[in-house]
Structure 1
Amino acid sequence: MGPSSMYNVALILLFSFLLGMSSAKLSENFYEKSCPKALSIIKSGVRSAVQAEPRMGASLLRLHFHDCFVNGCDASVLLDDTANFTGEKSAAPNNGSIRGFDVIDNIKTQVEKSCPGVVSCANILTLTSRDSVVALGGPSWKVLLGRRDSTTASFSDANRDLPAPVFNLSQLISSFSNKGFSVREMVALSGAHTIGQARCVSFRDRIYNDTNINASFARSLQAKCPRSEGDNNLAPLDSSPIEFDSVYFKNLQSQKGLLHSDQEFFNGGSTDSIVNTYSLNPLTFASDFANAMVKMNTLSPLTGSNGEIRKNCRKIN
């Protein structure tokens, strides 16, 4: 091969490399030409679901969080178990508690009708989290798109990586730090608990054994959550559970955090000042939450030729 031919081959390889790099980047207008109606279909599906059941907004936000914290935002959490495969749905932090799968299925069906095989389940999850927060009065943020779907999931990683409601502050800091989040970003993301509800099994130990809890608040919860039954009985995560606001932080200041892990953010430690800031400045919280969500949305996405575009979010193609 002569110098000219070698030069041409090098140019082709360089072009291919650059093309590969560009295809691996996330972009806000990723579906502008390939599926122009995708974002409006997803937004409409979320709005309908939240109008029918306001709690669903919190459930979709949590579903996205539980996806991204386990090997990145790749829709692995949506995969059903099979005879030969145990995925993330069966892991302790998820089993019996994460929900919203039917909403994702319905949205995916509508998107597939508009543009078959184009929009990934991972991107749908990312957009539903933003649209859910907006539907409940919270901030919006820029969502970069282009993720592809995983072809596997990890039961063990879900058990290991997702922070538990019994964690103390140092465990929480470690859990979020492992994903690249600062302490302030961690507290901002915890503000997601300004919407939604939790099961009795998640807060039973706190209302009977914690000392940093408002006594009347504990008694009111004990009526809903007996010592030995009612595991699935629900209680609101803050006193305005269908409004995305900063009341969560005010509740912490009054020792009325529902989960042990919530109250750890205001328990005489290093995060007390951040809680005070967010309680006094709702707009600061909203801005910090939105920025932290942008960061979370880009945790280890599958792009380019990695992964696939699932036809059915519950199973690989």
Structure 2
Amino acid sequence: MEFRHLRCFLAVAEELHFARAAEKLHMEQSPLSRAIKELEEELCVQLFVRTSRCTRLTLAGKLFLEHVPRIFTVVEQARESVKAAANGFHGQLRIALSDGITPSRLPALLARCREEDPEIEIRLFDVPLAQQIKGLHDDLYDAGFSMAEDAGDGILVEPVWDDELMVAVPARHPVLSHKRIPLEEVLRYPLALGDPAFCEGHARQVDRFLRQQVQEPLIAQRVATFDLMMALVSAGLALGLAGAAHIASSREPNIVGRPLAGTPPMLTTYLLRRDGEPSQALARFIERLQSNGTSQGEALNDEK
């Protein structure tokens, strides 16, 4: 089995059309079909059912598809690890990011890691939550950040920081008459909220908060990214509910971040890692993460 066989399989599995897959790979359809046939003969299974109307994966093909992307990821990580060693790094931490985690905490943490552990290269991977959890099990990532509090068996989940849930408001909107906006006022207007398919943990925490209210929210749109949420808010099409850091970091004009009235609801970010003894590099990373969270929390309390 060669890498060309795997590339051909992956292209056909993604396109489910041999002609489109051949075009994607910049090759003729005949050698593509031959490569798939060679792969099927080596595996002694049929990977695709091909008719004049459609191409679909067999059960064996679907199972094979679960493994092939991981093979390419492992090879790419090995390549990057070798490059890192050539550039003077003596180790690597692979950190996955999911759920649109609060961006403000990471730069200071990564800068401190680079200062105190310059020989450890940190690589970041922005992936869906399900891919992060699978990657942790498969040893593709050393740890990850998410806003989901449950990752299933074999994964340790530890809260690492909180971020206040605030309202993103278009400039000159009527609710800006409130310095702290009552939630019942917010719920009078259409909302842009995170899509659970793309930011599962964040959406779950916000939805849990909203379910505590008597009044049903009017959801204008579920969005895959916070950039899109802020674009809708800036255009005056909706109010947004997001962490204070996401609102503060928005590049969209005409957006005002306002706290909610009463006890401020908090969004929690979690560190995920495999259950077991962490490597020395990961243990030092976790120690810095915990001390950074403590120092930033103390700073916020001092400001208040």
TM-score by length of 1: 0.22
Structure 1 or 2: larger strand share?
2
Greater relative CO, 1 or 2 (CA 8 Å, sep 6+):
1
TM-score by length of 2: 0.23
Structure 1 or 2: larger helix share?
1
